């Protein structure tokens, strides 16, 4: 079944092709689409970046005596190497084969961390985070014991948990929010094959393998990351906000040839809170969302401002996750997003075009702020969606599936999904539909959309579609 949709403000759709070249989540897939007209938002790649990096290097083993077999924290060794290169005008920090445990390593301008394909980078959990985690666990246990028998005070447990201090971690940082100057021409890459990254189980905050906060001209490429369903996306781009009305996103970047495994349903491989002129290519995520264009972390008092501008993507794949691509502007007035060649296999949805909205916090901060949008000209083309039985599903999507028009939802769907409808999310359930389209105030073109294996598509209505506090008539999936 195949359908071309050039104007899709009010319809939710879905799609698919074949999966002959997508047999493994560990292999970044290539679409069968050729001669794509998409022009990348950035001209940077591993090869083009090299002209900006001086031809000098420091080897973490032979020059800095890093131990490739130690589980001790070697962050200081990596940081010293980067600082030395920065003092000389830049160069390559060479990371040969071996296993290294690091935390909070900050890149500098004109410095690249160049990883051997046999290099394995582990996120090190510092003692302060371990101690805080123990305090948190003890505090939570005391709260639960105090309130578990008293229904009137039980809600206090949830509120008190939010006040317990968390320690968010990152393996690599490109540009600090506290630095007045951005990091320019920096990167982390493996040129032949993929270096490995490991994120351990951690529940006292979140972990990002690469965090890009204040940077211009960057490349991240050639990584395979093994997660433990920790909070936060594997890679995140953001920006700095010098005052409430101004946001400066990271700019001119390439993020590509990245694979992630075992991602948290609410996060995934990449999240772009902020960015200008960034190209994403060959992203593959097992779990969560492969490319999450969600700009909800930063509200701007200038109601005409946004945080994402001129974003392009190609060859985006997600398996056993939530969605392959998600667009959610919250209150930000974002620019154009253009994405081609998307494949979702056994996900809740293939693509989600989300509505803008104003939460209570932002409404109180900036009275009169309005819902966010993406600019006219945004599109997602060449989408393939394969139904599967190992999707990650949010509970609110299950409830809407059953409640919007219950007479048209097959009984077999009701029987399968109802047991999960009270959980925050559930895994290993059937895909719901190829596309979730809830946007009201902006349009995204969807074209060349195909799908396979959705047994109830013609009769399955589903739309969580709120506007002005009311629920609209449910729209339908084909």
pLDDT tens string 125-184: 998 888 876 666 666 556 556 555 555 554 555 555 555 667 899 999 999 999 999 999
Given a cut of 80, whether residue 348 has pLDDT beyond it is yes
Contact in structure between 263 and 229 (CB atoms under 8 Å): yes
User: Average pLDDT over the chain, rounded to whole?
Assistant: 83
DSSP bridge pairs for 212: 174, 237
Contact in structure between 53 and 219 (CB atoms under 8 Å): no
User: What kind and span of H or E run contains 270?
Assistant: strand 268-272
Q: What is the pLDDT of residue 80?
A: 98
Cα 294 from Cα 275, distance rounded (Å): 11
The stretch 220-231 carries a mean pLDDT of 97
Cα 429 from Cα 394, distance rounded (Å): 11
> Structural domain boundaries of the chain?
2-471
Which residue, chain included where needed, has tokens 């985690």?
Answer: 133
Contact in structure between 324 and 290 (CB atoms under 8 Å): yes
- When pLDDT is cut at 50, 70 and 90, the band that residue 304 belongs to is very high
Global pTM reads 0.86
Please give the C-alpha separations between residue 156 and each of 43, 137, 146, 360, in angstroms, as whole numbers. 52, 16, 10, 20
Class of domain 2-471: mainly beta
- When pLDDT is cut at 50, 70 and 90, the band that residue 251 belongs to is very high
Cα 161 from Cα 5, distance rounded (Å): 46
Given a cut of 60, whether residue 461 has pLDDT beyond it is no
Residue 399 vs residue 202, higher pLDDT:
202
**Which DSSP symbol is given to 363?**
H
């Amino acid at each position: 079944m195949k359908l071309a949709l050039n104007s899709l403000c009010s319809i939710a759709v879905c799609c698919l092709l074949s999966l002959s070249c997508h047999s493994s989540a560990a292999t970044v897939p290539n679409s069968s689409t050729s001669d794509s007209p998409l022009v990348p938002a950035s001209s940077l790649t591993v090869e083009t970046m090299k002209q900006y990096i001086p031809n000098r290097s420091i080897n973490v083993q032979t020059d800095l005596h890093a131990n490739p077999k130690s589980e001790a924290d070697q962050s200081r060794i990596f940081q010293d190497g980067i600082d030395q290169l920065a003092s000389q005008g830049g160069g390559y920090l060479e990371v040969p084969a071996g296993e290294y445990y690091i935390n909070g390593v900050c890149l500098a301008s004109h410095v690249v961390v160049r990883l051997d394909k046999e290099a394995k980078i582990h996120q090190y959990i510092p003692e302060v985070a371990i101690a805080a985690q123990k305090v948190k666990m003890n505090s939570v246990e005391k709260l639960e014991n105090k309130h578990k028998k008293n229904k009137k005070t039980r809600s206090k447990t949830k509120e008190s948990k939010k006040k317990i201090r968390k320690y968010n971690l990152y393996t690599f940082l490109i540009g600090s929010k506290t630095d007045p100057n951005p990091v320019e021409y920096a990167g982390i890459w493996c040129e032949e094959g993929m270096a490995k990254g490991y994120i351990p189980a951690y529940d006292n905050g979140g972990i990002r393998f690469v965090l890009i906060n204040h940077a211009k001209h960057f490349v991240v490429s050639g990584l395979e990351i093994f997660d433990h369903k920790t909070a936060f996306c594997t890679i995140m781009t953001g920006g700095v906000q010098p005052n409430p009305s101004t946001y400066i996103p990271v700019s001119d970047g390439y993020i590509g040839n990245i694979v992630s495994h075992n991602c948290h349903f609410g996060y995934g491989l990449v999240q772009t809170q902020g960015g200008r002129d960034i190209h994403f290519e060959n992203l593959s995520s097992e779990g969560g969302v492969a490319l999450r264009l969600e700009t909800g972390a930063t509200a701007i008092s200038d109601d005409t401002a946004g945080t994402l501008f001129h974003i392009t993507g190609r060859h985006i794949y997600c398996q056993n996750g939530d969605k392959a691509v998600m667009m959610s502007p919250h209150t930000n007035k974002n620019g154009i997003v253009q994405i081609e060649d998307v494949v979702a296999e056994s996900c809740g949805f293939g693509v989600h075009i989300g509505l803008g909205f104003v939460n209570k916090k932002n409404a109180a901060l900036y009275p009169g702020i309005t819902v966010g949008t993406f600019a006219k000209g945004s599109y997602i083309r060449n989408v393939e969606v394969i139904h599967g039985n190992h999707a990650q599903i949010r509970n609110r999507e299950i409830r809407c599936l059953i409640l919007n028009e219950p007479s048209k939802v097959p009984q077999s769907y009701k029987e399968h999904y109802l047991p999960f409808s009270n959980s925050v999310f559930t895994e290993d359930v059937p895909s719901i539909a190829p596309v979730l389209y809830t946007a009201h105030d902006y349009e995204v073109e969807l074209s060349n959309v195909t799908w396979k294996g959705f047994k109830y598509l013609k009769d399955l209505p589903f739309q969580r579609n709120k506007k002005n506090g009311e629920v609209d008539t449910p729209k339908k999936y084909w």
